[in-house]
Structure 1
Amino acid sequence: MPVELSATQALTLWHTVSLDQVRVESGDLTLRQMAILLHIYLVPPPHTVRGLAATLGVTKPVITRALDTMGERGLVERVRDDRDRRNVVIKRTVTGALYLEKLGDLIIDRGRRLSL
């Protein structure tokens, strides 16, 4: 059954979850980094720097900077494509999967509290 939220309720949910993330996470992700991370985990692979740049409509250096931060946190991993050494393939990690699972659980929890 679809959840019906007003625009205000949806924004309140986003606000609450964002505040929780900022409070709990020592190095919270930017909106761009979160969009990239969600794309990597929700859209079937393979993912490349070039492909992510095209999808988000930004340059490859923008993607590279975002991936640097996420890589330092262990959320993603970059490896050279064996078939085309010019391409860098972005891989999912267990740490990244757990991060998003916790985020999903937090959204569910806050969404339930919002509807009460």
Structure 2
Amino acid sequence: MARNLKALGLWRTALVASVRQDGPDLSARQLAILLQVYLTDPPHTVRGLASLLNISKPAVTRALDRLSVLGFVKRKRDAEDKRNVLVQRTVKGSVFLSDFAELVIAAGAVTPEDMNRIQADEALAAAAKAKLEAELIEAPALETSAS
């Protein structure tokens, strides 16, 4: 449970920092679609995004309307299949997500308390590894001397 609370606390910290900035507030759906477009390989279509996110095409369209107005994505008719609309990345969307990533990184910055815990865990792991390695070296020597 503590791990869950820590993860939620990090997310809250990043979101609070995001809404405090002078920029647009994106809904969870809009942010999920934006991340899907930017973090996965194109091409992206309304139909494909709806399928991947398991939401309706009209819900994707509404989110894309808002993201388009903000300049974070653009839509273009597919030249090969006129029925498809391709969702494309923009420089403004890249900048927004880069700034948002910095907020997430800052929210997840390691505290001195966390660093002490990490160092203690690493020391325990190193000691356990050294003990196992010593036992592995001694085991063949014991077998040879017992023969």
TM-score by length of 1: 0.90
Say yes or no: does 1:115 pair with 2:111: yes
Cα shift at 1:97: 0.5
1:77 pairs with one of 74, 78, 93: 74
After superposition, the CA RMSD in angstroms is: 1.4
Say yes or no: does 1:35 pair with 2:6: no
The count of residues paired between Structure 1 and Structure 2 equals 111
- Give the match's secondary structure for 2:82: coil
Q: Distance in 1 between matches of 2:85 and 2:111?
A: 43
Say yes or no: does 1:50 pair with 2:37: no
35-44 or 15-24: which moved more?
15-24
Report 1 or 2 for greater relative contact order, CA contacts < 8 Å, sequence distance ≥ 6: 1
Q: For residue 103 of structure 2, what is the aligned residue in structure 1?
A: 106
Greater radius of gyration (CA): 2
Greater share of helix = 2
Aligned residue type for 1:115 = T
Runs of 4+ residues over 6 Å off in structure 1: none
Identity %: 46
2:14 pairs with one of 17, 24, 30: 17
11-20 or 22-31: which moved more?
22-31
Say yes or no: does 1:97 pair with 2:101: no
Preserved contact between residue 11 and residue 107 of structure 2 (Cα < 8 Å): no
Aligned residue type for 1:93 = T
- Give the match's secondary structure for 1:6: helix
Q: Flag structure 2 segments of 5+ consecutive residues without an equivalent.
A: 113-147
Q: Flag structure 1 segments of 5+ consecutive residues without an equivalent.
A: none
TM-score by length of 2: 0.72
